A and B are shown apart, each in its own frame.
Chain A
């Protein structure tokens, strides 16, 4: 029982969570045409206006899911494991996907099922997670307990059980090796092993997803195309600090559980974002000069549009530049700086925009988005 107002973006567009941008676009076009006002299938079903509401939501879903950064944040909120970017096809011979890729798709299908069957989707409220839905059951493959020596999977969702302290957020200034938003073998040892076994291969050297082609004699290799955003060997240490297996986790009292869960959720989201921004930074580092330092702000600054505008002008960046860099439309950026809350997109979308904008301004994305969204909430009453 989920009318469209309560459906997740994936459910709205009737695509699996593993869908490609192209599939999402096609689904949007099909559904947008299907729910046009003059469609005979809608005759007598709903009052006038309902169809346009639905179309507006389809549009929103498409916009967010077709933006890699926003989709990452959204997925994270749904509790989905990070997606594997599907390499563009170059040849029919590339049809044979790597086993790890197949395994990942399986995992995502599992997540789909878990999402559809158990996850009561409730529209987001970023500010309070007390009323938020319980975390969805992670896909079965993730539930399988890994061997004791292996750190728990990254994608496991926070719940009320004792949670390890949130990981130290990776700062962009540290410039760590760019981590792609893929699951490394360590994250899902079971998966990789299963996949390897299904191919009859000897059991793992664990390889990163989208590893080098398995057939060395393949006529097409990745060097021919664009370099894939995968490091040759993801440092195993990368996932270790996220969940130290032997660290004595302080047993929280049950009352603390929601706060801890929230903190952990935020930490996970943040680390995801840090990965993305690290990747972006690494890409930009070669081309652009180091960013000017943002002006010092008191710690309790309320980030309204005016403050953001001042920071931006102090740094000598134009709206146009930010728009080009972040692919956020200038209209939205202007709206944010002018505090035109009513004209701004839905909070999910806005949050992503604010995170991106803050990153450009050298500000703490989480602080900025939280503060700004509070203002939006207040304005709504």
Chain B
């Protein structure tokens, strides 16, 4: 009898230390990693921005972080399809048009734990071009979302709305394909984002004219970031130090999609190296995602790649990119 009682006690006591482990993990992530906003852009359409956004979101959520995906491709939102969920009933438009008070109200579950989606899908023509005040409000609310990661999926092009979302992010990811067209657009996108960043900081920098000239492509204006710095050093020595800090804080990250060959895989570091050589600016490289029929199959099945084909090479590439993203300094 007494022996049996001891055995019972052991069984009851055994599971006690266990429960705290599961919930603790996300909290650790939360406190050590300040919440971070990641924007995914790239200038060109059809290069896999949404695919990268959706699967990065899934990868981070699977690792225990709380994630909100924001579909900021206001004209052609389809992030929900990449996640395999039907078009949500509520969207960013409801927030912009004040039918919803907070962004949390328009965030819908995705069927994946800890991952929510704020859709941009709404077939209203002017939704793609929110007014300045609306955009500011949206940016402010995105910044104050109570999650570990916000991933903003951007539309194609280098319009100011797109660039401003990109620059809002702590980490700006530029997706590119190993094709001249995509590379050209990626460079254009990064350059535009760079000058836009300086323009937004214009007031504190005190060199608005130089930046405006550069943006307008005026004759004699700076064509590269370095030329701008050189001009600033000559004309506005007092603004130079602040400008230099602002310039050095600009560090987008590349993700190379649809890599087929070894040379394709190396292209990411080549682009990063060339950018650094010619402009003296840093450009990170998070990794390549292989060209993989699995990705195509997942899209056709309307399911996210990491869920439908977790063992594929493309999925492995995306997980690697997620790892590199996590290891970036905050």
Q: Point out residues on A near B: beta carbons under 8 Å.
A: 1-4, 6-7, 14, 34-35, 39-46, 50, 54
- The answer to whether residues A43 and B278 also contact, given A1-B226, A3-B226 and a CB cut-off of 8 A, is no
Asked if B248 and A1 make an inter-chain contact with CB atoms under 8 angstroms apart, the answer reads yes
The 6 closest A-B pairs by CB, nearest first: A44-B184, A41-B270, A3-B280, A43-B180, A2-B280, A1-B280
Main secondary structure, interface of A, reads loop
A54 touches B278 (CB 8 A): yes
Candidates B270, B278, B281; contact of A34 at CB < 8 Å = B270
Per-residue 0/1 for B254-281: is the Cβ within 8 Å of any A Cβ (1 yes, 0 no)? Answer: 0000000000000100110111011111
Least Cβ–Cβ distance between A373 and chain B, in angstroms: 26
> Across the interface, do A39 and B277 meet the contact criterion of CB distance under 8 Å?
no
Contact of A4 among B188, B267, B278 (CB under 8 A): B278
CA distance A7 to B275 in the complex (A): 14
Q: Which residues of B contact A3 (CB under 8 A)?
A: 224, 226, 277-280
Contacts of A7 in B (CB 8 A): 277
Q: CA of A34 to CA of B272 in the docked complex: distance in angstroms?
A: 12
**A1, B274: Cβ atoms under 8 Å?**
no
Taken together as a complex, chains A and B put the C-alpha atoms of A229 and B278 apart, in Å, by 41
The residues of B that contact A14 with a CB separation of less than 8 Å are 273
Most chain A beta-carbon contacts within 10 A, residue among B183, B226, B277:
B277
Closest to A44 in B: B184
Listed A/B pairs (17) with beta-carbon separation below 8 Å: A1-B229, A3-B279, A4-B278, A6-B280, A40-B179, A40-B180, A40-B267, A41-B270, A41-B273, A42-B274, A43-B184, A43-B187, A45-B183, A45-B274, A45-B275, A54-B277, A54-B278
With an 8 A cutoff between CB atoms, is B113 at the interface? no
Q: Does B321 contact A (CB under 8 A)?
A: no
Question: Quick check: is B97 within 8 A (CB to CB) of the other chain?
Answer: no
Q: Which residues from chain B contact A2 at a C-beta distance below 8 Å?
A: 280
Q: Contacting B278 at CB < 8 Å: which of A39, A40, A45?
A: A45
User: By the criterion CB–CB under 8 Å, are A50 and B274 in contact?
Assistant: no
| Residue of chain B at shortest CB distance from A2 | B280
Q: Which of chain A's residues has its CB closest to B268's CB? A: A41
* B42 at the binding interface (Cβ < 8 Å): no
Q: Who on chain A is nearest to B186 by CB?
A: A44
Contact of B178 with A by CB under 8 A = yes
Q: Whole-angstrom distance from the CB of A370 to the nearest CB of chain B? A: 30
**A1 with B247: in contact, given A34-B270, A35-B274 (CB under 8 Å)?**
yes
Would A40 and B274 be within 8 Å (CB), given that A1-B226, A3-B280 are in contact? no
B281 touches A1 (CB 8 A): yes
